[in-house]
Amino acid sequence: MSETRTEERTPTALERMGGVSGLVYASVPTLAYVIVNAIAGLNAAVVVAVGASAGLIVLRLLRKEPLQPAMSGLLGVVVAAAIAYYTGSAEGYFLPGIWFSLAMTVVFTVSLVVRRPLVGVIWNVMRSAGPDPAWRADKTVLRGFDVATLTFVVVFAARFFVQDTLYDAGSTGWLAFARIAMGYPLLGLALLVVYWAVRRANRRGALTDEANERMVSQTVEARS
pLDDT at 216: 41
Is pLDDT at 144 greater than 80 in this prediction?
Answer: yes
Average pLDDT over residues 130-139: 74
For residue 133, name the pLDDT band (cuts at 50, 70, 90): low
Mean pLDDT computed over 44-57? 92
Instruction: Give the DSSP per-residue string, 43-98.
Output: HHHHHHHHHHHHHHHHHHHHHT--SHHHHHHHHHHHHHHHHHHHHT-GGGGGHHHH
CA atoms within 13 A on the CB side of 97: 28
Q: pLDDT (tens digit, 9 = 90+) per residue, 153-210?
A: 999 999 999 999 999 998 899 999 999 889 888 888 999 999 999 988 888 765 554 4
The rounded mean pLDDT for the chain is 82
* Mean pLDDT value of segment 80-90: 92
Contact 170, 91 (CB under 8 A): yes
For the cut 50, the answer to whether the pLDDT of residue 215 exceeds it is: no
Reported as a pLDDT band with limits 50, 70 and 90, residue 6 is very low
Residues 60-90 as b/e (b if ≥16 CB within 10 A, e otherwise) read beeeebeeebbeebbebbeebbebbbeeebb
Higher pLDDT: 64 or 97? It is 97
Residue 184 contacts residue 26 (beta carbons within 8 Å): yes
% the chain with pLDDT above 90: 45
Q: Does pLDDT of 211 surpass 50?
A: no
